[in-house]
Amino acid sequence: MTDNLLFVHLTDLHVNAPDMEDPHLLSDSTATLRRTLAEIKRLTPRPRFIVASGDLTNHGDAASYRALATELAAAGLDLPVIMALGNHDDRQGFHAAFPEKLADARTPYDHAQVIDGLHIVVLDSSVPGEIGGSWEAGQMDWLRARLDEHRDLPTLLVSHHAPMLDLAHTDLEWESLSAKATEELKDAIAGHTVVGILSGHIHMDRVAHWHGVPVVIGMGHHAATDPLDMTDGIRMLDGTGFAYCTLRDSGLTVTFVAHPQTRDVLYHLTEERVRAYLAQREAELAARATEDA
C-alpha cells in the first residue's frame, strides 16, 4: 500500500434534477456538492479517490443521477468516484444514468477494486421501500469471495447503512443495518484486515469501534440530525460537511470538514411524517416500476 494514502468521504448527497420541486429537500444540496468539490480541489496532497456512500439523489430518478454526473464532470477533479447506493437511491434510475457502473438494475450494486494497495469493497445495503438496510441472498457470499481474492491487502468497506452497534435495540433498525445483516457482516469479515467502514444515512458525524473495526459515518450534504434532542422525533438542523481520510500503516485517520452552518432547526421529523414519507416513496417506486414494465 502507498504510504499515507489520502482519500475523501462524501455521503448523503441528495442531489435533485435542476428545477425539481421537492418539499422534502431541506437545503440546496447541489450547491453544497459544488462547495465540497471545490474544497477537494484545494487539498494538498491530492487525494487518490472519492467515496460517496449512498443517498446520491433524493428520489432515485434518472434525471437526478444525470445531474450528479454533470456536477462531478464539471468539477474537473479527474479522480475515481466510488459510489454506493442508499435508501433514497433506486437501482433502475442509477442504471439509466450510469450503465457502465451497474449493468443489471435487478441486482445489488456491489463492486470492488484495488487502488494503491487498498482493497475497496462496496456493498449495496439498500432495500426498496425501506429506510433501514439489509443484504439480499448471495451478497455475503460475494463479499467472502472478494476478501479471499485479496487476503494480503487491507480492505476498506463502504455501505450506506452502518452496522447496528447495539443488537439489543432492534427498534433502531431503521437507522442502520438490521441486526441479522449486522451479524452476517461480522461473520463475513472475520479473519480479514478491514481498516474501516464508511457509511452515512443518519446525517451526523459519528465514529464507532465495532469489533475492532472503525465505523465512520458522515453528516452529509443535506441536513444534520440533532443528536442532543431526540425525545420527540428527529430535528434536522442546518449543517453539512465531508471528511478527508488518511490511511497509514498505523491505521485510519478521519478529519471531518464542516461547511459554514447555523445549526438552526430546519425540520421536525415526527413519526407521522415518517409514515407519510414512506407512503410517498412506495408510490414513487410503484409508479416507476409501472413505467419500466
The per-residue pLDDT for 278 is 64
The per-residue pLDDT for 292 is 63
The per-residue pLDDT for 2 is 65
CA-only gyration radius of the chain, Å? 18
pLDDT in tens, 264-275: 999 998 767 666
Describe the crossing of helices 29-42 and 62-75 by its angle, rounded to 10 degrees.
Answer: 30
The per-residue pLDDT for 126 is 97
Which three-class secondary structure state does DSSP give residue 285?
A: helix
CATH number of this structure's domain 5-292: 3.60.21.10
What are the CA-CA distances from residue 292 to residues 91, 113, 245, 278, 285 (Å)? 12, 31, 40, 21, 10
Sites in the chain below the pLDDT cut of 50: none
The C-alpha atoms of residue 3 and residue 1 are separated, in whole angstroms, by 6
* Cis upstream peptide for 45 (omega within 30°): yes
